[in-house]
């Protein structure tokens, strides 16, 4: 259980937070590439200006969670319900996510092209 903690300018490469419970936690300017949060429970957790390239965010429980200006390229978000999660100012070329988990997720028009393949559509 991690409660009321702020990680600032931390190098969290490959850190394993799997099955943890994070409440009132903020990550600012952190390098969290390849970090693992698999099956974690997030309540009031924020990521700002973080690199989470290839992070494992599989099957998260998300309550009042935000990602601001983060690099989520190739992150695994499968099984994590993203309803109400705003990824519009995040950077990614691809995410591993299930189409049903995207319901209600907020993205930018530019990011929408990343999800076209999941829908089986072809852009001409």
CATH number, domain with residue 101: 2.160.20.80
What are the residues facing 48 on neighbouring strands?
A: 28, 68
- What is the phi/psi pair of residue 76, to 5°? -100, 115
Other C-beta atoms lying within 10 Å of the C-beta of residue 11: 11
Region 86-112: mean pLDDT is 89
SS3 58: coil
Number of domain units in the chain: 1
Are 30 and 12 within 8 A, CB to CB?
A: yes
Residue 3 buriedness (CB in 10 A; 0-12 / 13-18 / 19+): exposed
* The pLDDT of residue 109: 85
Q: Which domain holds residue 95?
A: 2-119
> Is residue 89 in a domain?
yes
In this prediction, residue 120 has a pLDDT band, given cuts at 50, 70 and 90, of confident
Kindly report the pTM of this predicted structure.
0.88
> Is residue 124 in a domain?
no
């Amino acid at each position: 259980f991690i409660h009321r903690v702020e990680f600032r300018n931390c190098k969290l490469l490959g850190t394993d937070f799997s099955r943890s419970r994070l409440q009132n936690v903020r990550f600012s300017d952190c390098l969290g590439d390849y970090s693992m949060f698999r099956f974690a429970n997030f309540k009031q957790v924020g990521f700002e200006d973080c690199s989470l390239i290839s992070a494992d965010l599989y099957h998260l429980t998300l309550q009042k969670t935000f990602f601001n200006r983060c690099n989520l390229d190739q992150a695994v978000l499968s099984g994590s319900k993203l309803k109400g999660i705003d990824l519009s100012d995040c950077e990614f070329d691809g995410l591993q996510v299930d189409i049903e988990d995207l319901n209600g997720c907020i993205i930018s028009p530019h990011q929408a092209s990343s999800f076209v393949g999941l829908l089986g559509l072809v852009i001409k």
